Amino acid sequence: MRTIVMSKQNIEGSIQSIKSRTKVIKKALDTAKQLKSRNDEPGNTTPTKRCYCGNNAKLTHQNKYGRVKEKLIRVENVPVYSCEECNEQFISGSDSLVYAVRLKEAYAENKNTIAFK
């Protein structure tokens, strides 16, 4: 009889855990929908990403410098997200990989400047 009671308690605990996780997932989906609707507003054509401070950072294109060994290389037209609230700037994960590849290519070709593409 005792194992049945414990199993029932385990099942009830699992159900509570699932309900709690479901609430978190629903809240995350609602937040994502709200952010998407803000970005879909008429006149808002600039892509944005969430900044570390919690505000939206807008996409800009800038020339950035990188160093490979002793060589300083300028990469032109790099997509950079800039936050107007905290002045933080960041590159998305996939773009940072492209940036690193372009730096290595410029170094291999002995160039001082290269386009991001």
The tens digit of pLDDT for each residue in 64-115 reads 999 999 999 999 999 999 999 999 999 998 999 999 999 999 999 999 999 9
Asked whether residue 7 falls in the same domain as residue 57, the answer is: no
User: Whole domain around residue 64: which residue ranges?
Assistant: 48-115
Domain count, the chain: 2
Asked whether residue 37 falls in the same domain as residue 81, the answer is: no
Distance between CA atoms of residues 95 and 75, nearest Å = 12
The pLDDT of residue 64 is 96
Q: For the whole model, what pTM was predicted?
A: 0.59
Q: Is the pLDDT of residue 4 over 90?
A: no
The pLDDT of residue 18 is 72
Asked whether residue 21 falls in the same domain as residue 78, the answer is: no
Asked whether residue 52 falls in the same domain as residue 102, the answer is: yes
